[in-house]
Structure 1
């Protein structure tokens, strides 16, 4: 695990950064999906609520690995079909990073929608009624009352979703992305010393989890400053 010409330390660190990158990208994509699904589940439209419930039920019930395979092979089949229309032949692989981030985003979006929905329901309805009685428009109500409290109440749950996303990033190795688990498999196969590589991967995942968890707690403490908590 050294950093010399024959060491694997640099490759493992780069792979760890790739794991963080794909996890962060998937988390942000999931935040977009989760916000839209949360809005749909809280809307007055029965159709929107039905579609949102179906999305959350399917994505939470289907194994994450299956979602990755469906997006990767489905995207590859689509790209191959488009390439064939322009005279190309053969298999066109979907981009692994984009596919992995999208798969993580789809799955985490289902969980984030529940976190955001619970956070919204934690806001006292009297505050919303007071804002409307004061003459606040929807956007002003969102900016001054809803969003600040929504973020405050959602942060603890979002930290749990992030830890889940970080672990899900290890599954992206099945489609060929060289992240931490894939690099560990390559190194262990080349040196025939799998124990050292997987122990190193464990320590790196724990380090990433600890640092990011500390960051979430700092943000949460700042968000709750001045608020008495039970």
Structure 2
């Protein structure tokens, strides 16, 4: 009983507990995940359209991008973006004379690195969804006088979303878990906050289990949300 009270005190809010830090870390993890997911969707859509285009250069760039992303460990990409991009931007800023010191923000580095990784996988998901749509529909839209942009937004996109949602839901769960990797560049998200709490209290089991529970809750709620989206978009004609 005393141990339970002690654990609840450690997980509580205020000066004696670490609940504030864990909650703040969980919120930052969500912010990173959402931002990276949006960046990944944008890159994935661009990559999917490039792969399906008739331009060899666009196809080559898209294939090279997805191949590199799927071949290199995600943590290495995070390090490359955080350190290499920082050096490159520092050199560019110093060259212009605007500033002598420059350091890329940890949140920006996390968003870009995870977003680039997500983009590589989103490309294949979105490409498959677009390819599954009968080509005759786009040809019919062109015959009716619709431009390529209008055809994409009015014909392709509404049919692509239901087909891509299952894969995109899985990618969201992946980026949610991979947000923990940014703790390695010193960004205080949920895992690093829990690690600091565990190190300060020496109660590693409690805080690591608390981290796992928070991720489990976030993943479960996310799965429910995507399931609802899949259900609502699968048969829109049946909704009342």
Q: Give the TM interval when normalised to the shorter protein.
A: over 0.9
Structure 2 unaligned residues grouped into runs of 5+: 1-10
**1:198 corresponds to 2:208:** yes
Determine the C-alpha separation between the residues in 2 that align with 1:114 and 1:131. 25
Equivalent residues in 2 for 1:136-175 (5 A)?
A: 136-175=146-185
Report what 1:118 is aligned to. Answer: 128
Determine the C-alpha separation between the residues in 2 that align with 1:107 and 1:84. 29
Q: Compute the RMSD of aligned alpha carbons.
A: 1.8
Determine the C-alpha separation between the residues in 2 that align with 1:184 and 1:54. 38
Determine the C-alpha separation between the residues in 2 that align with 1:22 and 1:209. 15
Determine the C-alpha separation between the residues in 2 that align with 1:135 and 1:88. 52
Q: Provide TM-score, normalisation by structure 1.
A: 0.93
**1:13 corresponds to 2:9:** no
Out of 164, 174, 182, the position equivalent to 2:192 is: 182
Q: Provide TM-score, normalisation by structure 2.
A: 0.89
- Change in Cα spacing, 1:138 to 1:76, as seen in structure 2 (3 Å) is closer
Report what 1:30 is aligned to. Answer: 40
Shift of 1:82: 4.5
Q: CA offsets per residue over residues 30-67 of structure 1, 9 Å max, x none?
A: 11111111111011011110111000000111000000
Report what 1:95 is aligned to. Answer: 105
Report what 2:4 is aligned to. Answer: none
Report what 2:232 is aligned to. Answer: 222
Report what 1:48 is aligned to. Answer: 58
How many pairs were matched up? 227
Structure 1 unaligned residues grouped into runs of 5+: none
Determine the C-alpha separation between the residues in 2 that align with 1:44 and 1:87. 42
